Chains A and B, each alone.
Chain A
Amino acid sequence: MHISKNIEIIDLALYLEKESTLVLGDLHIGYEEFLNKEGVLIPRFQLEDLVKKINNILDRVNPKKIIINGDLKHEFGTISQQEWNDTMKILDLFNNKEIILIKGNHDSILEPIAKKKNIKIKDYFSVNDIYICHGNKIPDDQDFKKSKILIMGHEHPSITFKERKDEKYKCFLKGKWKNKLLIVMPSMNLVTQGSDITKEKLLSPFLQQNIENFEVFAVENKIYDFGKLKDLI
Chain B
Amino acid sequence: MIEFQEKPYEDEEIFKVLNPIVSTWFKSKFKEFCMPQKYAVLNIHNRQNTLVSAVTGSGKTLTAFLSILNELITLSENNMLENKVYVIYVSPLKALNNDLFFNLETPLHEMERLAGKKFGIKVSVRTGDTTTYEKQKMLKNAPHILVTTPESLALMLSSIKFKELIKNVKYCIIDEIHSLAENKRGVHLSLSLERLQYYCEEEITRIGLSATAEPIEEIAKFLVGDRDCKIVKIDLNKKMDIKVLSPVPDLINTTFEKSHNALYTLLDQLVQQHKTTLIFTNTRSATERVVHHLKEKFPQNYTENIGAHHGSLSKEHRLNIEERLREGKLKVIVCSTSLELGIDIGYIDLVILLGSPKSVARGGQRIGRSGHALHDTIKGRFIVLDRDDLVECAVLLKNLVERKIDKIHIPRNCLDVLAQQIDGIAVTERIHIDSLLRLIKKSYCYSELSKEDFMSIIDYLSGKYISLEDRYVYAKIWYDQETGMIGKKGKLARVIHMTNIGTIPEESFVTVKINDQSIGHIDEAFLEKLKRNDIFVLGGSTYKFLYAKGMVAYVSASPGQKPTIPSWFSEMLPLSFDLANDINRFRKLMREKFELKKSKEEVIKFINDYLYVDENAANAIYEYFKEQFLFSKIPDEKELVVEFFNDEEKKYVVFHSLYGRRVNDVLSRAIAFAVFRSEHKDVDIGISDNGFYICSDKKIQVLKSFSLIKSDELRKVMKLAIENSEILKRRFRHCATRSLMILRRYKGREKRVGRQQVSSMILINAVRRISDDFSILKEARREVLEDLMDIDNASLILKKIENGKIKIKQVATNMPSPFAFNLVLQGYLDVLKMEDRIEFIKRMHSYVIAKINK
Interface residues of A (CB under 8 A from B): 35-45, 161, 163-167, 169, 191-192, 196, 199, 201, 218, 220-221, 224, 226-227, 231-232
Contacts and interface: CB of A to CB of B under 8 A. Distances in A.
B95 interface: no
Contacts of B554: 199
Contacts of B257: none
Interface residues of B, number: 50
Contacts of B841: 167, 169, 218, 220, 224
Interface string B507-531: 0000000011000000000000000
A36 B547 contact: no
Contact of A231 (B743, B833, B852): B852
Contact of A40 (B532, B549, B756): B756
B747 A37 contact: yes
A40 B844 contact: no
9 pairs of A and B residues whose beta carbons are closest in the complex: A165-B547, A39-B743, A39-B746, A40-B759, A224-B845, A39-B751, A42-B763, A161-B844, A227-B852
B234 to A, nearest CB: 48
A44 B467 CA distance: 9
Contacts of A36: 473
Interface of B: 465-467, 470, 473-474, 515-516, 532, 546-549, 554, 724, 726, 740-747, 749, 751, 755-756, 759-760, 762-763, 766-767, 769-770, 831, 833, 835, 837-838, 840-842, 844-845, 848-849, 851-852
Contacts of B742: 39-41
A43 B743 contact: no
A41 B741 contact: yes
Contacts of A166: 547, 724, 726, 831, 833
A38 B848 contact: no
Nearest to A219: B841
A38 B833 contact: no
Contacts of B769: 45
Contact of A167 (B549, B726, B837): B837
Contacts of A199: 515, 549, 554
A220 B845 CA distance: 12
Most chain A CB within 10 A, of B473, B747, B751, B840, is at B473
A15 B848 CA distance: 27
Nearest to B849: A227
Nearest to B467: A44
A101 B604 CA distance: 86
A41 B848 CA distance: 40
Q: Identify which of B548, B841, B851 gathers the most chain A CB atoms within 10 Å of its CB.
A: B841
Contacts of B763: 40, 42
24 contacts: A37-B747, A39-B744, A39-B745, A40-B742, A40-B763, A41-B474, A41-B741, A43-B466, A43-B470, A43-B474, A43-B770, A44-B466, A44-B467, A45-B769, A161-B844, A163-B840, A164-B840, A165-B547, A166-B726, A199-B515, A220-B837, A224-B841, A224-B845, A226-B845
Contact of B762 (A35, A163, A169, A218): A35
B465 A43 contact: yes
A48 to B, nearest CB: 9
Contacts of B837: 167, 220
A167 B840 contact: yes
A52 B359 CA distance: 56
Contacts of A163: 840, 844
Given A39-B744, A218-B841, A232 B762 contact: no
Given A220-B837, A220-B841, A221-B838, A42 B766 contact: yes
Nearest to A166: B833
A36 B547 CA distance: 28
B821 to A, nearest CB: 30
Contact of B838 (A44, A201, A220): A220
A231 B756 CA distance: 34
Nearest to A49: B769
Most buried by A among B516, B746, B833, B844: B844
B848 A226 contact: yes
A161 B532 CA distance: 13
Given A39-B743, A167-B837, A227-B849, A44 B547 contact: no
Nearest to A196: B549
Contacts of A169: 841
B86 to A, nearest CB: 39
Nearest to A228: B852
Contacts of B770: 43
